[in-house]
Amino acid sequence: MLNILHRVGATSTSPDAAFTALTTIDGLAGWWTRDTTGSADVDGVIAFRFPPGGFDMKVLELVPGKRVLWEVVDGPPEWIGTHVSFDLRQEGEYTIILFEHRGWAEEVEFMYHCSTKWASYLLSLKQLLETGEGAPSPDDVQISDWH
Amino acid sequence: MLNILHRVGATSTSPDAAFTALTTIDGLAGWWTRDTTGSADVDGVIAFRFPPGGFDMKVLELVPGKRVLWEVVDGPPEWIGTHVSFDLRQEGEYTIILFEHRGWAEEVEFMYHCSTKWASYLLSLKQLLETGEGAPSPDDVQISDWH
């Protein structure tokens, strides 16, 4: 099993504020994609849409201020059945976000792309938490021909 | 064995120009760290230094316009013996850079950090290739308390 891992830290915020950005439709639309709909409660399904397509995430676990876990239930074949999680904690003046996208079957080139793209979106989340303004799709940073 | 993988694409450049940015001291100093010294030839050792420390990379393989492979010979214990590679190719108007940092022993939190930080430096490389100006250390993007 192959995993994408990232770590960012944001100042002027809190694990509770980060949790809100990860567990409300408005919060998610502020850093990942503006086209976010669905139910962000446990057992709900959140639909994230981007110009080239999208992902449906089932919410498996929510621990307020601490952890969010999703399972990918629809999207590109490489993503289906994989898990995405965010672990939150405070470390001095930084709210630390540990990100995991677990369960890739193969090191396909799309995995390389998604790894870089996740980093870019997590920096958008950091920016949202620190300044109130993220860079969600379609206003995200274009990193290559695959957007 | 655990790996960090990334993919970026740059326009207005070429695999040859990317190769130069990866295989000359000046090129490397333009996107990773200004404090880069040593020999960038095969069997040479390049010393990359950052405010918190640094890495020594032995150059194992150079295929002009196509591939660069380094082995980490000094630095943080988690890095020593790991391998860093860059594979280059042209895809339409994009020069594609496939990045690998292979051979991590464990999913330590430092690996999460390095994964995000590599993405940020690869976007600095993209920016250098596209505009002539990257964001190398110490002018790099701070992503967390670990810089």
Residues 3-62 of A with CB under 8 A from B: 3-10
Task: Give the pLDDT confidence of A100-145 residue by residue, as tens digits.
Answer: 999 999 999 999 999 999 999 999 999 999 999 999 999 999 999 9
Instruction: List the beta bridge partners of residue B71.
Output: B58, B83
For the packed helices B109-131 and A109-131, what is the interaxial angle rounded to 10 degrees?
90
Name which of A117, A109, A91, A108 is nearest A6 in CA terms.
A117
For every residue of A77-96, DSSP letters joined together read TTTTT-EEEEEEEEETTEEE
pLDDT at A29 over 90: yes
Are B9 and B87 spatial neighbours (Cβ–Cβ below 8 Å)? no
* CB-based contacts of B24-29 (< 8 A; 24+ apart in sequence): B29/B136
Q: One digit per residue, pLDDT tens: chain B, 147 residues? A: 799 999 999 999 999 999 999 999 999 999 999 999 999 999 999 999 999 899 999 999 999 999 999 999 999 999 999 999 999 999 999 999 999 999 999 999 999 999 999 999 999 999 999 999 999 999 999 999 998
For every residue of B44-105, DSSP letters joined together read -EEEEEETTEEEEEEEEEEETTTEEEEEEEESSTTTTT-EEEEEEEEETTEEEEEEEEEEES
CATH number, span B2-131: 3.30.530.20
Is A96 in contact with B144 (Cβ distance < 8 A)?
yes
Note whether ipTM > 0.85 here: yes
pLDDT for residue B22: 98
Q: In what order do the strands lie in the sheet with B83-91?
A: B2-10, B94-104, B83-91, B67-74, B53-63, B45-50, B35-38
Q: How far apart are the first and last CA of chain A?
A: 26
Is A7 in contact with B145 (Cβ distance < 8 A)?
no
pLDDT at A1 over 80: no
Name which of B60, B75, B68 is nearest B110 in CA terms.
B75
Residue B122 sits at the chain A interface (C-beta within 8 Å): yes
Taking the C-alpha atoms of residue B132 and residue B16, their distance in angstroms, rounded to an integer, is 15
Identity of the residue numbered A97: I
pLDDT for residue B52: 84
Residue A89 sits at the chain B interface (C-beta within 8 Å): no
**What sign has the CA pseudo-torsion B85, B74, B61, B105?**
negative
Out of A96, A120, A144, the one facing B96 most closely (by C-beta) is A144
Is A115 in contact with B7 (Cβ distance < 8 A)?
yes
pLDDT for residue B77: 97
Taking the C-alpha atoms of residue A42 and residue A58, their distance in angstroms, rounded to an integer, is 8
pLDDT for residue A7: 98
pLDDT for residue B88: 98
Helix (H, G, I), strand (E, B) or coil at A71: strand
Q: How far apart are the first and last CA of chain B?
A: 26
pLDDT for residue B55: 97
Out of B126, B143, B146, the one facing A123 most closely (by C-beta) is B143
Which secondary structure element, helix H or strand E, spans residue A50, and what is its range? Answer: strand A45-50
pLDDT at A20 over 80: yes
Task: Give the pLDDT confidence of A37-81 residue by residue, as tens digits.
Answer: 999 999 999 999 999 899 999 999 999 999 999 999 999 999 999
Helix (H, G, I), strand (E, B) or coil at B29: helix
Taking the C-alpha atoms of residue B32 and residue B23, their distance in angstroms, rounded to an integer, is 12
pLDDT for residue B1: 76
